[in-house]
């Protein structure tokens, strides 16, 4: 019986130690579980922040490319409008040159025909000379001075 008592005492001590160990392990298990949850949350947070950083960088890249595309398209529109305006101004200058040359030619040809006017003035001088000689031949001598016309 002594062995049974010893064995019973040993079993009881073993059971108490086992129960205290289980209690400690339960508390440690809860602490380990909470620590594991914190580590997992930390890791997920890092992974999410890295993913958001990549998304942000790609978003900036997409925006940069899109704004560059819009800027180049607007520049092409402005450049095309400027080219059209410069062409129109050049055409207007060329048309003005052509018109002034044509008007000058027509004026010289028909309105102020210098050659016809010269012939007319020469003929007028001849008529004036004939009239003068005719009046001298008739005996009507008068003193003719070209400056007398302007003194009156």
Alpha helices in the chain (DSSP H): 2-106, 114-137, 148-151
- Answer whether residue 127 is part of any domain: yes
CA angle at residue 71 from 69 to 77, to 5 degrees? 105
The residue to which tokens 């005719």 are assigned: 134
Report DSSP letters for 44-82, one per residue. HHHHHHHHHHHHHHHHHHHHHHHHHHHHHHHHHHHHHHH
Structural domain includes residue 133: yes
The domain containing residue 15 runs over which residues? 2-140
Rounded CA-CA distance 125/95 in Å is 42
Total structural domains in the chain? 1
pLDDT (0 to 100) of residue 146:
52
Instruction: Note the pLDDT tens digit of each residue in 96-145.
Output: 999 999 999 988 887 777 787 888 899 999 998 888 888 777 765 555 55
Q: Does residue 147 form part of some domain?
A: no
In a domain, 9, yes or no: yes
Contact 140, 147 (CB under 8 A): no
- pTM of the predicted model as reported, rounded to 2 decimal places: 0.47
Residue 148 lies in a domain: no
pLDDT of residue 152: 47
């Amino acid at each position: 019986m002594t062995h049974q008592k010893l064995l019973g005492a040993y079993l009881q001590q073993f059971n108490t130690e086992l129960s205290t160990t289980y209690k400690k392990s339960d508390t440690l298990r809860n602490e380990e579980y909470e620590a594991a949850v914190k580590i997992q949350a930390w890791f997920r947070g890092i992974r999410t922040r890295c993913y958001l950083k990549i998304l942000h960088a790609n978003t900036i890249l997409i925006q940069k490319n899109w704004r560059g595309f819009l800027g180049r398209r607007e520049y092409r529109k402005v450049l095309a409008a400027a080219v059209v305006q410069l062409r129109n101004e050049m055409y207007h200058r060329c048309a003005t040159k052509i018109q002034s040359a044509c008007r000058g030619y027509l004026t010289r040809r028909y309105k102020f025909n210098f050659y016809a006017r010269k012939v007319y003035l020469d003929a007028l001088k001849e008529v004036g000379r004939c009239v003068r000689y005719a009046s001298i031949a008739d005996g009507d001598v008068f003193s003719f001075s070209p400056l007398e016309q302007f003194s009156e």
